[in-house]
Amino acid sequence: MLFRGRALCVTGEEQGVPDEIPVEPEREFVCCSWIALGGCHSEVRRGSRTDADGNEIAGVRVPDVAVPLATYPSWNVRGAGHTPGEGCYYQGSTVPFAATVAARMATGDPRPSLQECYRNKTDYVTRVQAAAEALAAQRLLLPEDIAVYVNAAQAQTVLQ
């Protein structure tokens, strides 16, 4: 299954291991936030509230998040050689959506596929432009940056 994996570290005899990536909203788990001289500073973290796409709800939803092609967690899981399995909260990750319903069903991905989200590339670009214009109207995006998002949407090759 796409989201299965160990996501956090062991601190002494306690361990925090979320069952799914992204972590289910509001679930608490123990996390080792830094290790120095053999010690570990542990803290309790909670999974962020997310929408049906798995993207965080809080904050300014830039067009990439408002009109997504993937889930964009604000954290990542460290790889081999760097305290594997431990959370890395300084670098996000990207988990692309399946292209079709069949591909989504085959992997058990609970998120909608691109086919379910957008009729075609034109639909996607139109939605990106609307999201960018809405942010500009709220003074959260410079008007000249609307074109940056629209051009990126037109340049993507996932949708045809």
Tens digits of residue pLDDT in 69-83: 998 887 776 667 766
CA distance 85 to 83: 6
CA distance 129 to 154: 10
Give the containing element (helix H, strand E) for 88: strand 87-88
CA distance 75 to 66: 18
Q: What residues have CB less than 8 Å from 33, skipping those under 6 apart?
A: 41, 42, 43, 89
Are 104 and 112 a contacting pair, CB within 8 Å? Answer: yes
Q: Highest mean pLDDT: which of 20-29, 30-39, 92-101? A: 92-101
- Can you give the pLDDT at residue 52? 85
With the CA atoms of 53, 130, 123 and 154 taken in that order, what torsion angle do they form, in degrees rounded to the nearest 10? -100
pTM of the complete model: 0.70
Banded model confidence at residue 62, pLDDT cuts 50, 70, 90: very high
